Structure formats: structure tokens, C-alpha cells
Amino acid sequence: MTDFPTDSDATLDAIGLLCPLPVLKARKRLKDMAPGAVLQVLADDPAAIIDIPHFCAESGHDFLGQTTHDDHQIYQIRKTG
């Protein structure tokens, strides 16, 4: 899935962090965000491609998609209720 809004309410730069830190930092950031807000996560950890969608499925947040930019990925997560 690569079609997602380019607008986000917050950006988490997790480039250089290895599993499980991108997910742990995303979870912490999402806690302080309002329902419906979109978090953009920048990560270059190869495991994030599996971990972030799995985190969204387990926590109930909406995984809006992922794309690659230069040497990292950009993930979009919408916080639910």
C-alpha cells in the first residue's frame, strides 16, 4: 500500500533506530495524539516493514501505508479512538 495522505499531524524520525525502538517510539508518540491524527514515521530498520503494520493491527490503529524515500521508509499511521 503506497497511497496515503501527504499531510501528517506529527513526524517521528526513527532513522538509525533498530527494532523494537521505531515501534516503541511510535506507540509513545501516538498516546499523546488526538484520535484521527496522522503520525508519519521515518525509519530505515528493515524490520520496520513488518513491525509497524503488525503494531497497527495489534493496537487497532489504521495503517495508511508505506513508501520508500531515498534510503528510508515513510509510514503513515492514523490514531484510532
Instruction: Write down the H helix ranges in 11-47.
Output: 21-31
> Do residues 64 and 77 lie in contact, with contact meaning Cβ atoms separated by under 8 Å?
yes
Catalytic residue among 10, 19, 33, 49: 19
Q: Is 56 a catalytic residue?
A: no
By annotation, the residues acting in catalysis are 19
